[in-house]
Amino acid sequence: MTDQTSDVHVARAHRPPKVEFMVYFTIIFLAALPLAFVATLLAVVKRGDLKTKGPVARAWSQARIITPMIFSA
């Protein structure tokens, strides 16, 4: 007999982000933006092409990575 209750995955309903999450996201995004401009400038100078990710996209992805880490701790 197989126990099938140990691998039960409960799907969570998608909830809109809370205000606190959005506040932290905004702060982290704004803090990452100047560094993303520098990183993009260095990438363009080093590689010589404009196909690299832009500074806003870089800062946005960093904020999307860091903010959930804060709330999961």
Cβ neighbours of residue 44 under 8 Å, at least 6 residues apart?
50, 52
Q: Roughly what angle, to the nearest 10 degrees, separates helices 19-47 and 55-72? A: 140
Candidate from 6-15, 53-62, 63-72 with smallest mean pLDDT: 6-15
Question: What gap in Å lies between CA 64 and CA 58, rounded to an integer?
Answer: 10
Q: What is the pLDDT of residue 18?
A: 87
Q: Is the pLDDT of residue 64 over 80?
A: yes
Across the chain, mean pLDDT equals 85
